[in-house]
Amino acid sequence: MTPMEIALEQARLAATRGEVPVGAVVLGADGAVLARAGNRCEELADPTAHAELLALRAVAAARREPRLPDCDLVVTLEPCPLCAAAISLFRVRRLVFGAYDPKGGGVEHGPRLFDAPGCLHRPEVVGGVREREAAVLLRDFFRPLRPG
């Protein structure tokens, strides 16, 4: 499985738990999967339990290091401003994401955190990887929740 396929699988699992279907994978310098996670905001009653943060925290805790400069993050949705700030603080080498998020994104939309003058670290960013598949997961999840 490719890293994005693993992230999509995590997103599907999140949806089965009633969570917004977002999945994330952290890769080491050699491309090995170090952590994977799906959203758990509802389950943990924690609005910050986003897939990206859960996966990054798991790797940092396992390594006992607050920064992950040799790691890549693969996530199914453009990170929100909270996650974009965390990605910068974790010093992630590369961010790869699937669907763009014009309403809630913080990388290519909204505050565009990595372009801000005060941004401490700007990872390489690759957006739109399997974008359509990731967007369909989100649309299918929200369709029954939104009337009309």
- Ordered DSSP codes for 103-140: TT-SSSSTT-GGGSTT-S---EEE--TTHHHHHHHHHH
How far apart are alpha carbons 94 and 7 in whole angstroms? Answer: 15
* CB-CB contact of 19 with 47 (8 Å): no
- pLDDT per residue, tens digit, the chain (148 aa), is 999 999 999 999 999 999 999 999 999 999 999 999 999 999 999 999 999 999 999 999 999 999 999 999 999 999 999 999 999 999 999 999 999 999 999 999 999 999 999 999 999 999 999 999 999 999 999 988 777 6
Residue pair 11/50 in contact by the 8 Å Cβ criterion: no
Tell me, what's the pLDDT at 34?
A: 98
Q: How many residues comprise the chain?
A: 148
The label of the residue with tokens 């690759």 reads 126
pTM: 0.96
Number of Cβ within 10 Å of residue 116's Cβ equals 14
Mark whether 43 is an active-site residue. Answer: no
**Amino acid occupying residue 128:** G
Active-site hit among 19, 52, 78, 108 = 52
Beta strand segments in the chain, E = 23-27, 33-38, 72-77, 94-99, 124-126
pLDDT at 147: 72
CA gap 83, 97 in Å, rounded: 12
Q: What's the pLDDT at 146?
A: 74
Encoded tokens for 3: 């890293």
> Tokens 């401490």 map to which residue?
120
Greatest alpha-carbon pair distance for the chain in Å reads 48
Tell me how far the alpha carbon of residue 30 is from its chain's centroid.
20
Q: What is the pLDDT of residue 128?
A: 98
Can you give the pLDDT at residue 98? 98
pLDDT for residue 148: 62
